[in-house]
Amino acid sequence: MTVSEALRYLSRELEKSGSGTPRLDAEVIAAHVLGMQRKGLIIDGGRSLDDEKFALLEAALLRRTAGEPVAYITGMKEFYSLTFQVDNRVLVPRPETELLVDLVIYHAPRAGRVLDLGTGSGAVAVAVKHNRPDCSVYASDISPAALEVARGNSLSILGERAIVFFQGDLFEPCADERFDIIVSNPPYIDPAEKPLLPRELAYEPETALFCGDAGREVIGRIISEGRSRLHDGGMVMIEIGSAMEGDVLTFARNAGYDAHIVRDYAGLPRVALLKT
């Protein structure tokens, strides 16, 4: 079997399994397994595959058709034009979360202090520091396993001691610190929605996806506890679910913030921008 034939085979099987992007998935998986760039799959399409390589492709295909995210199969995901190592200890970074990075880069004062709450893979914190090296960036997560991934990404992309990491529940491990920007992509999915969600989410850590009060519990805590952790004029930026706009604005205004919602590039409510 040639590379081109293998790609067609993978694409067909992935389409049958319900993948929304079968050709893309096939190319990313094949490029990873074969140690090639995606453009090389076309250039070297006539190259023959030995039995060992085809067996590796079959194994990756089985994982994907079972619903495992492509990023976990390849062990990497691009976010904000940087490549992050990911596995099932952390969420797969999503393109829509890049809006958080855009907003921090724009609003952070010169030499500002930025805290990324629930950092997961470290994608937001690392992307901010990469683009705003003048800022002091801090990141926390309740999961020691997630922090291990985040520290690894910070080291490989930024070098040693670029970001200060804390382990613990939200603000608990950095209670005496104050920041100019607090940013978070917290868990905000209602657990009651689990049966309706894409099967890929079953592979990602539940504590990073779901929380109580119909998905509003952690967001509510960040809003209520965050104000006292900000310098004068500081801001809180939180990714939210598209159905949360009204509730989040009410929480924020009751807590004394000047609040509005920033829509993403699809026009959906995406980030609560809260000013003191």
pLDDT at 65: 95
Quote the pLDDT of residue 40: 82
With a cut of 90, say whether residue 45 has pLDDT above it. no
Domain ranges of the chain: 3-66, 77-275
Name the residue with tokens 């109580």: 212
The answer to whether residue 274 scores a pLDDT higher than 80 is yes
Instruction: State residue 80's pLDDT score.
Output: 97
pLDDT digits (tens, 9 = 90+) for 165-211: 999 999 999 988 999 999 999 999 999 999 999 999 999 999 999 99
Q: What is the mean pLDDT of residues 81-103?
A: 97
Top pLDDT among 51 and 85 is at 85
Question: What is the average pLDDT score of the chain?
Answer: 95
Bridge partners, residue 37, by sequence:
none
Task: Report residue 27's pLDDT band, with 50, 70 and 90 as the boundaries.
Answer: very high
| pLDDT at residue number 247 | 94
- Both tokens of 74, joined, read 């390849």
β-strand 163-167 against 113-117: which pairing, if any?
Answer: unpaired
Mean pLDDT, residues 80-108 taken together: 97
d(CA 187, CA 185): 7
- pTM attached to this predicted model: 0.93
CA distance 51 to 240: 47
**28/32 Cα distance (integer angstroms):** 6
Identify the H or E element spanning 76. Answer: strand 76-79
What architecture is domain 77-275? 3-Layer(aba) Sandwich (3.40)
| Alpha-carbon gap, residue 35 to 149, rounded angstroms | 23
Instruction: Supply the pLDDT for residue 133.
Output: 98
pLDDT exceeds 90 at position 44: no
Q: Residue 271 in contact with residue 219, Cβ under 8 Å?
A: no
Q: Give the dihedral of Cα atoms 238, 241, 243, 244; nearest 10 deg.
A: -30
Q: What are 126-161's pLDDT values in tens digits? A: 999 999 999 999 999 999 999 999 999 999 999 999
Of 64, 6, 46, nearest to 30 (Cα)? 6
Among 225, 216, 273, 221, residue whose Cα is nearest residue 243: 216
Q: What is the pLDDT of residue 1?
A: 86
Q: Which residues contact 252 (CB under 8 A, 6 or more apart)?
A: 223, 259, 272, 274
* CATH superfamily assigned to domain 3-66: Ubiquitin-associated (UBA) domain (1.10.8.10)
Q: Answer yes or no: are the C-beta atoms of 104 and 237 closer than 8 Å.
A: yes
